[in-house]
Amino acid sequence: MTTPDEDMLITGAGTAIRGVAGPAGLLRPAVPEASADPTASLTGRGLRYKDRATKLALCAGRDALADAGLLLDPGLAVPGESVGVVVSSNYGNLDTVCDTVSAIAAHDYTATSPMALPGTASNVTASWVAITYGLRGVNLTLCNGATSGLDAVSWARVMVRAGRVRHMLVIGVEPANPVVAELVGPTFDGAAALVLESAETARERGATAMARLGRHARRETHARAVGDVLGGLLDDRVDLWCRPETAPGDRVESAEEQDLTALLGPASGALGVVQCVTGAAWLRERAGGTVLATTQGADAAAATVLTGAGAAL
Partner 1 sequence: MTDVLVTGVGAVTCQGYGAAALSAAMTAAAPPVPQRLTDTPAVMRHPLIHRVPGVASGAVALAASAVGEALDDAGLELRPDLRAGVVLGSCLGEAGPDGSPDFQVASAVGRLLGAFGANISVSNACAAGGFALCLAADLIRTGDADVVITGGADAYSRVGWASFDRLGAVDPVRCRPFDRDRQGTILAEGTGILVLESAEHAHRRGAEAYAKLTGSGWSCDAHHLTAPEPSGEQIIRGMREALAGDEPGCVIPHGTGTVLNDLVESQALRAVLGTAADRVPLYSAKALLGHTGGASAAIGAVMACLILRDGAVPANVPLDEQDPRCEVYLPVDAPVPLPVPRVLVNAYAFGGANASFVLEAA
Instruction: Catalog residues that contact partner 1 under the rule CB under 8 A.
Output: 1, 80-81, 84, 90, 94, 97-98, 100-101, 104-105, 108-110, 112, 114, 117-124, 126-128, 130-131, 133-145, 151, 154-155, 158-159, 161-162, 164, 218-220, 299-300
C-beta of 150 vs 240, nearer to partner 1:
150
- Rounded to a whole number of angstroms, the minimum distance from the CB of residue 219 to partner 1 is 6
- Rounded to a whole number of angstroms, the minimum distance from the CB of residue 163 to partner 1 is 10
Scanning 165-266, the segments in alpha helix (DSSP H) are: 178-184, 199-204, 222-230, 260-264
Q: Which residues of 55-92 are buried (b: 16+ CB within 10 A; e: fewer)?
A: bbbbbbbbbbbbbbbbbeeeebebeeebbbbbbbbbbb
C-beta of 89 vs 258, nearer to partner 1:
89
C-beta of 172 vs 308, nearer to partner 1:
172
Residues sharing a CB contact under 8 Å with residue 223, sequence separation 6 or more, in sequence order: 248, 249, 250
Residues sharing a CB contact under 8 Å with residue 5, sequence separation 6 or more, in sequence order: 157, 213, 214, 215
Q: How many CA atoms lie within 13 A of 223 on its CB side?
A: 3
- Rounded to a whole number of angstroms, the minimum distance from the CB of residue 275 to partner 1 is 18
The answer to whether the beta carbons of residues 306 and 213 sit under 8 Å apart is: yes
- Rounded to a whole number of angstroms, the minimum distance from the CB of residue 82 to partner 1 is 11
- Rounded to a whole number of angstroms, the minimum distance from the CB of residue 107 to partner 1 is 8
Q: Pairing relation of β-strands 254-258 and 211-219?
A: unpaired
C-beta of 24 vs 121, nearer to partner 1:
121
- Rounded to a whole number of angstroms, the minimum distance from the CB of residue 148 to partner 1 is 8
- Rounded to a whole number of angstroms, the minimum distance from the CB of residue 225 to partner 1 is 10
C-beta of 276 vs 301, nearer to partner 1:
301
C-beta of 162 vs 181, nearer to partner 1:
162
Instruction: Write the Ramachandran bin of 235: left for phi over 0, alpha for psi from -120 to 50, otherwise beta.
Output: left
Residues sharing a CB contact under 8 Å with residue 120, sequence separation 6 or more, in sequence order: 93, 96, 97, 100
- Rounded to a whole number of angstroms, the minimum distance from the CB of residue 49 to partner 1 is 9
C-beta of 81 vs 204, nearer to partner 1:
81
CA distance 119 to 65: 24
C-beta of 210 vs 300, nearer to partner 1:
300
CA distance 303 to 313: 25
CA distance 202 to 97: 39
